[in-house]
Structure 1
Amino acid sequence: MVYYSTIVNGSLEKVWKQLLLKIEHPENFVPGVSNVNIFEKNPDFVLRQMTVTSAENSTILKEKITFIPYKIRFLLLEHPTMEGYVDNDCKYISENETELTFTINWKDKVELTEINNQELVKNAVLKTKQFIENNNETTT
């Protein structure tokens, strides 16, 4: 498990609304995302498939996303090499500051070893922070 936290200049309510937006529009938050398809959406969870392209390869993955204030969990249902989940948490600091933490708990399916990529989680948090701070609208 690897995690990274930062302070976002924005209210807890704004950060939470933007994190909810990430469920249907991950391309604003995650580099290399395309072909996002929502298969099911209800008050308890969302089933999503998307393609993530990096310099090395292109991967199609399916996720079950659950959300309760102020945590979103992205559980991998189908991925060629990994299993596990990512948590996005936000916590009140002050009226205009919110702590944002991403925790990645991925394992290699074959070797069952933890995927421990600190740079990946840091970049994901900082990209999300930048998007939230630059987006004045809080539409979901």
Structure 2
Amino acid sequence: MPNIEHTEKINATFLTVWKLMLDKIEHPSNYTPGVSNVVLVENTSEYIIREMTLGDLGSIRERITWDDDDSPGIGKVTYILEKHPKYKGEVVNWVRRAKDDPKQTELEYQIRWEPLDGHSEADQEQLFRQQLAQAVQIVKRIAEHMAGTNPITPPAGQGQK
């Protein structure tokens, strides 16, 4: 499976988006559709080992590291697959302060997974592309709501009466 990436500009500060990325480590079901049965197996100041079920992909175990110290306004969270029946590789989430507007942030998700058997699955690749875009959109919506730039409104027929 080739690398898959999705990037969005978010109308929220770097700090707001970075806090969401850190929260996503411990509460992935709030940000990624299909996540359940989350267990933090090991939690240190340098990494977290997390096990969870990821929809049709089944149970996964990952080593998660994060870094926002190298350069101001840039953060990186890396999810390295330690155990999965079909794939090896990593997912990287980049958070970058927009150069032209300090109230905007760029969020980029990258999937770098390879099938263990070496065979690419075209239908899985398309599904990953859709899920990646959806996951970025969820963070964008939450961050912009927190920043007050995009209020979350209930679907028609719900809310105030």
State the TM-score bracket (shorter-chain normalisation): 0.7 to 0.9
**Matches for 1:1-140 after TM superposition, within 5 Å:** 1-53=3-55, 57=56, 59-69=58-68, 70-93=75-98, 94-111=101-118, 113=120, 116=125, 117-135=128-146
Distance 1:29 1:111 in 2: 29
Give the percent of matched residue pairs that are identical in Structure 1 and Structure 2: 31
Distance 2:12 2:143 in 1: 8
User: In the TM superposition, what is the alpha-carbon distance from 1:50 to its structure 2 partner?
Assistant: 0.5
Please, what TM-score do these two structures have when normalized by structure 1? 0.87
Higher helix share: 2
- Matched letter for residue 52 of structure 1: L
Secondary structure at the residue paired with 2:58? strand
Secondary structure at the residue paired with 1:63? strand
Higher strand share: 1
User: In the TM superposition, what is the alpha-carbon distance from 1:42 to its structure 2 partner?
Assistant: 1.1
Secondary structure at the residue paired with 2:32? coil
- Matched letter for residue 103 of structure 1: Q
Which has the larger displacement, 100-109 or 57-66?
57-66
What per-residue deviation string (whole Å, max 9, x for no partner) do you get for residues 92-130 of structure 1? 112211000001100111115487443232222112212
Partner of 2:156: none
- Matched letter for residue 132 of structure 2: V
Where structure 1 has 5 or more consecutive residues not aligned to the other structure, the ranges are: none
User: In the TM superposition, what is the alpha-carbon distance from 1:80 to its structure 2 partner?
Assistant: 1.1
When Rg is computed on C-alpha atoms for both structures, the one with the higher figure is 2
Please, what TM-score do these two structures have when normalized by structure 2? 0.76
- Matched letter for residue 100 of structure 1: L
